[in-house]
Amino acid sequence: MAVQRTISPIDGSIYAERELADEATVAAALQAAAEAQRAWREVALEERARYCLAMVDAFVARRETLAEELTWQMGRPIAVAGGEIDGFAERARTMIALAGEALAPIRLADRPGVTRYITREPLGVSFVVAPWNYPFLTAVNAIVPAIMAGNAVLLRHSAQTPLCAERIQEAFEAAGLPPGVFQHLHLSHAATERLIREGGIQHVAFTGSVAGGGMVERNAAGRFLASGLELGGKDPAYARADVDLDEAVAGIMDGAFFNSGQSCCGIERVYVHRAILAPFVERAVAWVRQLRLGNPTDPATTLGPLVRPAAADFVRRQVEDAVAAGARAWIDPRDYPRSRPGSAYLAPQLLTEVDHRMRVMTEESFGPVVGIMPVDTDEEAIALMNDSDLGLTAAVFTRDIAAGEAIARRLAAGTVFTNRCDYLDPELAWTGVGRSGRGCSLSRLGYETLTRPKSFHLKH
């Protein structure tokens, strides 16, 4: 039996070992899901909601344990790890509350002798492939609405965060959810591809890299699967000349460095009006220097390690290449003894004198680094913000809300903000532009990707 090992970025130790599901286990899970779904689709929406709300209560009851496990699996500082459990509950409860309206039949005006309406039918078995960077939040985006819509769910979590899948299943079991409606499987990459390619599922929800999204599309080709792909980001922020500098710097820098920059919707490039460039950079450098890089189990740590040494070395190379091409690095890595080549611990970095010829301004970093470029006009900022094949979120910081909204309308991104960033409102649709993905999750619209319309034309 093949085994997967979870290496903790904290100290390089093996934190968890799990047997990978073999073909017989996968086949049995698929059969159980299909059988359970046929009964589950007939369960009243109010009853589905009771199971899901009970699951949330059981999940939140273990908040401290879940937060500690999260820290050891992927390195988020314990001081903020509990926020993900709170966010899981918020998103789940929001999607449960939206289900009644989102899944209600569409009633059309009767014609003489004819009754017409459209229902939203469940797809069948949904296969959710979740990542390690926000392992609970990304998973709940798909799991709860899929189940509320009458589907069964199979969850394959990242090998970095296998305990997250197990804890969600335990919460559903504590809620008494009928067997087979939700299951998790520890799967290899090859088994994941085979499951998408060979049948038994009717929907796949994937959150991860652009390359991973390509894998899903290749294996789903010809199967006509419904799919949702939430992929990478190289999200920009623009600080106009009229901003409150302290608020803009704090908001943008937190958006860039939270979770050690390992957020698909984190800020990775910043455009600042030239009139405020010097004071913005001064304040931004001071903000970055107050971060405390260290062991994430220490409550005083505000910047944990990256998920693995290779990820940290990738960002190091981006920074080195940018400096070699003329960028200025404001943070001295020697001030951070833990940060060294081959280590998952990486000093934060802020770069100026960058441009779009540098990888650090065009290629997803997924680490604690951000580049800052001056602009002279809103038009220049818009052009640079849109100069990317990724478009998940974008943010404009300004005192002039009308101007900020006008700029936001012209940005090629799935979500646009003014005066905040790196945030997800579960009542808003979560989607991307270009290579940031396809489909939509959350909000009432998110239910449309988890159901298919069925039209009724009833002649009397």
DSSP strand pairing (437-438 vs 433-434): unpaired
- The residue with tokens 């905040």 is 420
CB 410 within 8 A of CB 431: no
Q: How many CB atoms lie within 10 A of CB 179?
A: 12
Residue 353 annotated as catalytic:
no
The catalytic position among 264, 265, 421, 440 is 264
State the number of CA atoms in the 13 A half-sphere of 12 facing the CB: 6
Residue 230 annotated as catalytic:
yes
Tell which residue, 233, 186, 227, 177, has the closest CA to residue 206.
227
The catalytic position among 69, 84, 230, 268 is 230
Q: How many residues does the chain have?
A: 460
Extract the tokens encoding 340.
């060294």
The amino acid at residue 47 is E
Tell which residue, 109, 437, 373, has the closest CA to residue 429.
437
DSSP strand pairing (451-459 vs 235-239): unpaired
CB 449 within 8 A of CB 120: no
Tell which residue, 397, 438, 394, 389, has the closest CA to residue 416.
394
Where in the sequence numbering do the catalytic residues fall? 230, 264
